[in-house]
Structure 1
Amino acid sequence: MATGTKICTMIPRRLLAARSLSTVSFFAEKYPVAEAATPPLALDLSDTQRLFASFPTSTLFRSLATLSVMAAGPLVDLGTATIRAMESSDRRILRAAVFEVARTTVHRHFCAGEGLEDASRTVQRMWDTTGMRSILDYAMEDADDNVACDRNIAGFLRAIELASSLPPTSASVCVKITALCPISLLERISDLLRWQQKNPTFRLPWRTSSFPILSNSSPLYLTPHPPVPLTETEELDLQLALQRLSSICKRCEESNIPLLIDAEYLTVQPAIDYFTYFAALQFNRGDQPIVYGTFQTYLRDSEQRMANAFQAAEEAGVSLGVKLVRGAYLTRETKLALSLDVPSPIHGSIHETHECFNSCASFMLEKVKKGHGAVVLATHNLESGRIAAEKAEELRIGKHDRKLQFAQLMGMADGLSLGLRNAGFYVSKYLPFGPVEQVLPYLLRRAEENRGFVSTSSIDRQLLRKELLRRLATIVVGRT
């Protein structure tokens, strides 16, 4: 830690006073977070020449143009509305034209391509030119039936085969449980798990050993009445879905490739956590976890759920892998809470979300230091990156320790990614791939996120402008 840097809880006094026995105060007191008033020397973004040395000018210019357009709210609103309208349109020519525009703009910027060959080239190029790793995401989600789930698992297995053919440790794989189990069944399982949290005597005969999934602060209001038990057919479908996940985990274990399971929206998240812990109990018995679950820190109950899960995992002798994010379903969760006339499950401000992320990151770094887990800190926030880098140095966590990784989405926060890489940390870029029509839900969330967090995009754009102006000045001076 830099000399003179103070330690603080980063938690507002009014929150501590109101919730003195809450997990917020518990985390803040037990896992203090360093202030970021003085940026640590380990993370330096001032030298854009070094930062973007591996990027051609054409790539920097295209990135600046795309991010600038997406920072214009009215343009983003118009574009997303048009794409949503075209998803269900029967006007083939117009639909094709809109998708082609998306392919050459947002798809090109945020995705690794449309097929396995495109994704392979992107991963290899990123590894060769920047030394950064990739998280491959075959961008499928929201399956309606078992036929779609069986089709999706074939795609995920091909992604694992691709990752195993690339340079060792250059790629991991991401999966969405909503692509492996029908949505309607995930909703049913989530309702049953919520009701059991309300009433522990409520029996779930299909439930196997697991870590705690919900807490008393979780949004249990989403299940206001006792749900009907799963039918025999639903229980069979649940077993099929668990088998799909197990086959993916087994392939990852054989190839020593980490598997990151995404978090999604709250109506299905309890079921996703159940699947995640089911897999972790099977495959995370070694020192280096194979399965990573995801916690979204914009949720008020995320700290308590993570603390509960870690306590149970340590008692079971399981190494828990965690991907820590802020969250990508803010609009959806807010609308649902308003429609039910209930308090939002999301923190009341972005500042509180930042505090929650930083506190959870500090907790995870302590666990990594003690050898009790592994973490992927997926953040686009520069201050969070600085704080975590400083905390890792304070704890003397080796920068080549695979149990600590930073990650950012492809096309976003490249300056932060490169700065962390230059500081010696493992850094991965999240690379979704698939046809434009297939990845539209992902692309629309990226558009909404980029519009909502303009400050993050603003830093990216400032760095890109600085480097482009430097290169232009170099050319002008060279000609005079």
Structure 2
Amino acid sequence: MISVPGRRAIRLPGRRTASLSSTSSISLLRTSSLASPTSSSCLFAMANTTRKHHSRRSIHSSERRTSTVADLPGTLPPIPPQDVAASNRAPLSVLPLSMILRSLATTVVSSSPILLPPSLRIMVALAHAKNPVLNPDMNPLLRFFLKKSFYAQFCAGENAAEVRATISRLKDIGFTGVILGYAKEVVLESSDAKDMAKANLGEETARDIEKEINPWRDGTLETVRLAEPGDFVALKFTGAGSLALHQLKNRLLPSQHLGESIDAICELARDRGVRLLFDAEQDMLQDGIDDWTMKFARKYNDSPETATIYGTYQAYKKNCPAVVSRHLADAQREGFTLGVKLVRGAYLGSDPRECFHDTKEDTDACYNSIASSILARQWSATVQGEGEFPNAHIVLATHNVESVRRARAICDAGGAKSDIAFAQLQGMADEVSCELVEASQSAQKENANARPLPVYKYLVWGTTGECMKYLLRRAQENKDAVQRTRNGRDAMWGELVRRCKSVVGMA
């Protein structure tokens, strides 16, 4: 069990980010990978929609800050500004020089209006390449270049040895562990599509099992084996193919072989002490995903000390508080533990606009209030219920430094009653992650009994070619998160300058 007992308050820097443009602030509503395969390409359509609604505050931008931490249930007064002079250690100092240089190069390209467009066009071509020259898995020279640059920035490795080495390096830096995903995606050939058109989608066929369900099951099982006890594995039900998509859309139970495959994944995860994060997806599928999530949570979350199954809740959706409250009521009534992965959201462009909060500040308030209620195990106006709060554990998957600071305030004040894990994408928001790691290490130096803060990095594994679509989404996300990318670039440059000064005795 990962818990965060009360300890002396250690605050993250009180730096506020610059105001975001309509497009750049979209990314703050997404978790990093925790981002969807389709969301990046849809953001521009949403940006156009928000311009049509200029008469009211946009969901993507806000001129005022959200409520203070004192307004949230179970918390203490607002966080005082940090005494920067009291902290002599730069958070990014925990990273090796190779990661600093690679991150700097990546963010320089991502934040450049000149370099990024052609880079994106190249990555699109590589991600959808059918020509052997452009296929990284078939072109050794291309594979070498990509693997040493973008692949190394965001991915864990191509095989078990590389994945384990990456996990070990991250833990040596100070991260608690990883959230590991399998990069390979199910691709339907034209002949498969014709077969599907003739088949009854409600029935499980040999083709479904052989070409879609089994590859997804085997890849996910291997991912669970690669993860270490205490780590997480992220998975999408739609990765199991067209039959799963049909069943989710129509809120049907998983078919026999698919259900047995999910059971096999859950059983292996529980036996190995690995936790599963069931990803949220498009709104038309989400009710079905919630049904499946709760079905397996009832079966496998039978210990109050930990949760094997975590559902994903998107705080930018207006119905998120009601869904969280309903699932907590089910857990309370039926005596199982609820696992919550809380994100802002990833389907702004593809889901109906009426699903979302009207403004970004409303989304932020929803996110922070849900996080506070679950962390403190206290009912609130947002998370409503009666009686004793059920056992719950939470993963805060966010790059938003203010949300991280609010949760830290509760933990530092000793108000955290639920286990918590902080999560950011590997290769992104490193300044946020490293602030948590540095604060945790400082607390342990001052108090040997202080437990480390649970900080996780999300990354995928697979061959360079298999990871190209994932890398393309990360590049597109950096394009949308202009200000955040520039902040990351500036942080990496500042750390490099600090190290250079230190070498010549000027630091």
Please tell me the TM-score bracket, short chain as reference. Answer: 0.7 to 0.9
Within a 5 Å distance, the mapping from 1:318-357 to structure 2 comes to 318-333=336-351, 337=352, 343-357=353-367
| CA distance in structure 1 between the aligned counterparts of 2:161 and 2:403, rounded to whole angstroms | 34
Contact 2:313–2:343 (CA<8 Å) still a contact in 1? yes
SS of the residue 2:504 aligns to: helix
User: What RMSD over aligned residues (CA atoms) do the two structures have, in Å?
Assistant: 3.3
| CA distance in structure 2 between the aligned counterparts of 1:123 and 1:99, rounded to whole angstroms | 22
Q: CA shift at 1:279, angstroms? A: 0.9
Q: CA shift at 1:281, angstroms? A: 0.9
Matched, 1:432 2:460: yes
Within a 5 Å distance, the mapping from 1:267-416 to structure 2 comes to 267-287=284-304, 288-333=306-351, 337=352, 343-367=353-377, 372-397=391-416, 403-416=419-432
Which one-letter code corresponds to 2:302 in the other structure? R
| CA distance in structure 1 between the aligned counterparts of 2:470 and 2:166, rounded to whole angstroms | 18
Which one-letter code corresponds to 1:185 in the other structure? L
Which one-letter code corresponds to 1:248 in the other structure? I
| CA distance in structure 2 between the aligned counterparts of 1:87 and 1:459, rounded to whole angstroms | 27
Q: CA shift at 1:354, angstroms? A: 2.2
Paired position in structure 2 for 1:420 = 436
Q: CA shift at 1:238, angstroms? A: 1.9
Q: 2:237 aligns with which of 155, 177, 182?
A: 177
Higher RCO, 1 vs 2 (CA within 8 Å, ≥6 residues apart):
2
Q: CA shift at 1:35, angstroms? A: 8.2
Paired position in structure 2 for 1:105 = 149
Q: CA shift at 1:322, angstroms? A: 0.8
Contact 1:116–1:162 (CA<8 Å) still a contact in 2? yes
Paired position in structure 1 for 2:49 = none
| CA distance in structure 2 between the aligned counterparts of 1:188 and 1:253, rounded to whole angstroms | 28
Q: Given the superposition, is the C-alpha separation of residues 32 and 445 from structure 1 closer, same or farther in structure 2, using an over 3 Å criterion? A: farther
Paired position in structure 1 for 2:260 = 243
Contact 2:343–2:398 (CA<8 Å) still a contact in 1? yes
Paired position in structure 2 for 1:476 = 504
The one-character-per-residue Cα deviations of 1:56-79 (angstroms, maximum 9, x if unpaired) are 323212211211211235644433
Q: Given the superposition, is the C-alpha separation of residues 470 and 350 from structure 1 closer, same or farther in structure 2, using an over 3 Å criterion? A: same
Which one-letter code corresponds to 2:367 in the other structure? F
TM-score w.r.t. the length of structure 2 is 0.70
More helix by share: 1
Paired position in structure 2 for 1:263 = 280
Greater mean deviation of Cα atoms: 132-141 or 408-417: 132-141
Q: Given the superposition, is the C-alpha separation of residues 270 and 55 from structure 1 closer, same or farther in structure 2, using an over 3 Å criterion? A: same
TM-score w.r.t. the length of structure 1 is 0.73
Greater mean deviation of Cα atoms: 406-415 or 386-395: 386-395
Within a 5 Å distance, the mapping from 1:153-172 to structure 2 comes to 153-164=217-228, 168-169=229-230, 171-172=231-232
Q: Given the superposition, is the C-alpha separation of residues 445 and 51 from structure 1 closer, same or farther in structure 2, using an over 3 Å criterion? A: same
Q: Given the superposition, is the C-alpha separation of residues 247 and 269 from structure 1 closer, same or farther in structure 2, using an over 3 Å criterion? A: same
Q: Given the superposition, is the C-alpha separation of residues 361 and 143 from structure 1 closer, same or farther in structure 2, using an over 3 Å criterion? A: farther
Q: CA shift at 1:30, angstroms? A: 7.5
Within a 5 Å distance, the mapping from 1:8-23 to structure 2 comes to none
Which one-letter code corresponds to 2:80 in the other structure? T
Q: Given the superposition, is the C-alpha separation of residues 471 and 439 from structure 1 closer, same or farther in structure 2, using an over 3 Å criterion? A: same
Q: 1:123 aligns with which of 142, 162, 167?
A: 167
Structure 2: segments with no counterpart, 5+ residues? 1-7, 10-55, 58-66, 189-207, 380-388, 441-452
Paired position in structure 1 for 2:495 = 467
Greater mean deviation of Cα atoms: 430-439 or 77-86: 77-86
Q: CA shift at 1:351, angstroms? A: 3.1
Q: CA shift at 1:363, angstroms? A: 2.1
Equivalent pairs, count = 398
Q: CA shift at 1:37, angstroms? A: 6.7
Structure 1: segments with no counterpart, 5+ residues? 3-13, 16-24, 194-205, 208-236, 338-342
Contact 2:266–2:300 (CA<8 Å) still a contact in 1? yes
Q: CA shift at 1:293, angstroms? A: 0.9
Within a 5 Å distance, the mapping from 1:38-117 to structure 2 comes to 38-39=80-81, 47=87, 49-73=89-113, 75-96=115-136, 102-117=146-161
Contact 2:186–2:216 (CA<8 Å) still a contact in 1? no
| CA distance in structure 2 between the aligned counterparts of 1:35 and 1:272, rounded to whole angstroms | 38
| CA distance in structure 1 between the aligned counterparts of 2:213 and 2:85, rounded to whole angstroms | 43
Q: Given the superposition, is the C-alpha separation of residues 421 and 76 from structure 1 closer, same or farther in structure 2, using an over 3 Å criterion? A: same
SS of the residue 1:477 aligns to: coil
SS of the residue 2:313 aligns to: strand
Q: CA shift at 1:252, angstroms? A: 1.1
Q: Given the superposition, is the C-alpha separation of residues 76 and 345 from structure 1 closer, same or farther in structure 2, using an over 3 Å criterion? A: farther
Which one-letter code corresponds to 1:389 in the other structure? R
Which one-letter code corresponds to 1:382 in the other structure? V
Q: Given the superposition, is the C-alpha separation of residues 110 and 309 from structure 1 closer, same or farther in structure 2, using an over 3 Å criterion? A: same
Q: CA shift at 1:289, angstroms? A: 1.0
Q: CA shift at 1:269, angstroms? A: 2.5
SS of the residue 1:423 aligns to: helix
